[in-house]
């Protein structure tokens, strides 16, 4: 069988990560790369051994042999570019957040359904083996009825006032930064694991460093002051559709925390805790016996989760492997000719991306109005 041909738009950190993950599948070939300039595209395509480079992604979309396109661009371009990909009749895998507003994500979801293309959002944390295993444990009733969900996603890469990135600019990243960038991952992961939808929120967002120092140029030691309009950290109270309560905190200024997405759920029969920085460990808490530390090993997993782990126990699988699982599930769905309107996917879709975007919009509204806000999905 001929390999599925794919193109990637975007040459920052995540674009090449997509390329690497896709190549690990064996039945997909990345044939084209598009960037903001032809020079940048050619340089990165040569580094990654990709045959075709484009300075305009629209030219790449004209190639009839390309079946799938990855949208790995900054947030503000997600809606525009994904719309063009869908209109070109290509399957699309977008980085998160799906858009910068619930209205935009709703438009994308509707167009994807209308064109019957396969659509995915790279919420790859749900693809970690231990997270997959926990999802089935919850589904099978191992920890009973979940009544409390809490956790955080903590980073430190913007701790200093001299730390700067395009995500600080609302014109490029959207009105929210920490919530959209990492809070979206947290919300998707816990909703996936528990099967519960977030239906209302009460948010408090804080900008700790209202003025930052931005380098005048990449090779300069001189800085100019930059006014920050997005949050450095936020805490959000949650209500789920079945009455379950929750709370989470996101921060990009927590020294020593690199990518610590963690969550705990407390149920009627037990508790469970997972931390992305130690992804091979799942803590399971009990009241009347010793607690368990379940290590990632297919022989210890539920039967439904065993396919998510690919190495023997002790050979710990991490973020790149979760990304590979995302790509494996997405491309296998395409390879098997499944219908996105009929066949249930085992990856996050535009429907999940839209739901996440609506939670983000509600969090923004809640912070601005200082009250509980219902999550509206239409």
Cα angle value 123/126/128 (rounded, 5°): 120
> Which residues sit opposite 148 in a β-bridge?
245, 266
Predicted confidence band of residue 378 (pLDDT cuts 50, 70, 90): confident
Per-domain boundaries in the chain: 4-124+342-347, 126-316+354-369
Interval 20-40 mean pLDDT: 98
Q: In angstroms, what CA-CA distances link 163 with 32, 42, 177, 250, 260? A: 33, 29, 14, 18, 19
Q: What is the pLDDT of residue 221?
A: 83
Of the candidate CATH numbers 3.40.50.720, 3.40.718.10, 3.40.50.300, 3.40.50.2300, the domain formed by 4-124+342-347 belongs to 3.40.50.720
pTM of the full structure: 0.95
Average pLDDT, the chain: 97
State the Cα torsion 79-236-243-140 to the nearest 10°.
70
Tell me the pLDDT tens digit for each residue of 138-171.
999 999 999 999 999 999 999 999 999 999 999 9
C-alpha closest to that of 360 among 236, 275, 246, 264: 236
Q: In angstroms, what CA-CA distances link 157 with 46, 124, 167, 299? A: 29, 21, 12, 37
Predicted confidence band of residue 218 (pLDDT cuts 50, 70, 90): confident
C-alpha closest to that of 307 among 334, 329, 281, 278: 329
Predicted confidence band of residue 217 (pLDDT cuts 50, 70, 90): confident
Question: SS in 3 state form for 104-160?
Answer: HHHHHHHHHHHHCCCEEECCHHHHCHHHHHHHHHHHCCCCCCEEEEEEEEECCCCCC
* Structure tokens given for 225: 């002051």
3-state SS class at 273: strand
Of the candidate CATH numbers 3.40.30.10, 1.25.40.10, 3.40.50.2300, 3.30.360.10, the domain formed by 126-316+354-369 belongs to 3.30.360.10
* Structure tokens given for 11: 């040459």
> CA neighbours within 13 Å on the CB side: how many for 373?
21
130-159 exposure pattern, b = at least 16 Cβ within 10 A, e = fewer: bbbbbbbbbeeeebeebeebbbbbbbbebb
Interval 30-55 mean pLDDT: 98
Neighbours of 167 (CB within 10 A): 19
pLDDT at 304 over 90: yes
C-alpha closest to that of 358 among 197, 243, 122: 197
Predicted confidence band of residue 1 (pLDDT cuts 50, 70, 90): low
């Amino acid at each position: 069988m001929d390999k599925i041909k794919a193109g990637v738009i975007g040459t920052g950190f995540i674009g090449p990560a997509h390329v690497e993950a896709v190549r690990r599948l064996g039945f997909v070939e990345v044939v084209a790369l598009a960037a903001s300039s032809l020079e940048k595209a050619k340089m990165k395509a040569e580094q990654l051994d990709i045959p075709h480079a484009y300075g305009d992604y629209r030219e790449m979309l004209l190639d009839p042999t390309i079946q799938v396109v990855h949208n790995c661009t900054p947030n503000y371009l997600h809606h525009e570019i994904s719309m063009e990909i869908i209109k070109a009749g290509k399957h699309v895998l977008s980085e998160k957040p799906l858009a910068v507003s619930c209205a935009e994500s709703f438009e994308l979801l509707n167009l994807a359904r209308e064109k019957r293309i396969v659509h995915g959002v790279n919420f790859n944390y749900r693809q970690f083996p231990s997270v997959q295993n926990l999802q089935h444990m919850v589904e099978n009733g191992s920890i009973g009825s979940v009544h409390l969900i809490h956790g955080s996603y903590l980073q430190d890469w913007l701790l200093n006032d001299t730390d700067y990135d395009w995500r600080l600019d609302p014109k490029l990243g959207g009105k929210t930064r920490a919530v959209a960038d990492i809070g979206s991952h947290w919300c998707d992961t816990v909703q996936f694991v528990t099967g519960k939808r977030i239906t209302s929120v009460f948010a408090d967002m804080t900008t700790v460093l209202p003025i930052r120092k931005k380098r005048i140029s990449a090779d300069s030691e001189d800085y100019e002051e930059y006014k920050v309009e997005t949050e450095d950290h936020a805490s959000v109270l949650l209500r789920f559709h079945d009455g379950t309560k929750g709370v989470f905190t996101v921060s990009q200024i927590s020294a020593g925390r690199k990518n610590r997405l963690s969550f705990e759920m407390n149920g009627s029969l037990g508790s469970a805790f997972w931390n992305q920085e130690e992804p091979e460990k799942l803590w399971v808490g009990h009241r009347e016996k010793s607690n368990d530390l379940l290590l990632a090993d297919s022989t210890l997993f539920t039967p439904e989760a065993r396919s998510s782990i690919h190495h023997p126990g002790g050979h710990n699988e991490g973020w790149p492997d979760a990304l590979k699982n995302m790509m494996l599930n997405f491309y296998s769905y395409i390879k098997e000719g499944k219908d996105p309107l009929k066949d249930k996917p085992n990856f996050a879709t535009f429907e999940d991306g839209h739901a996440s975007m609506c939670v983000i919009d509600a969090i923004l509204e809640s912070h601005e109005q200082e009250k509980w806000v219902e999550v509206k999905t239409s």
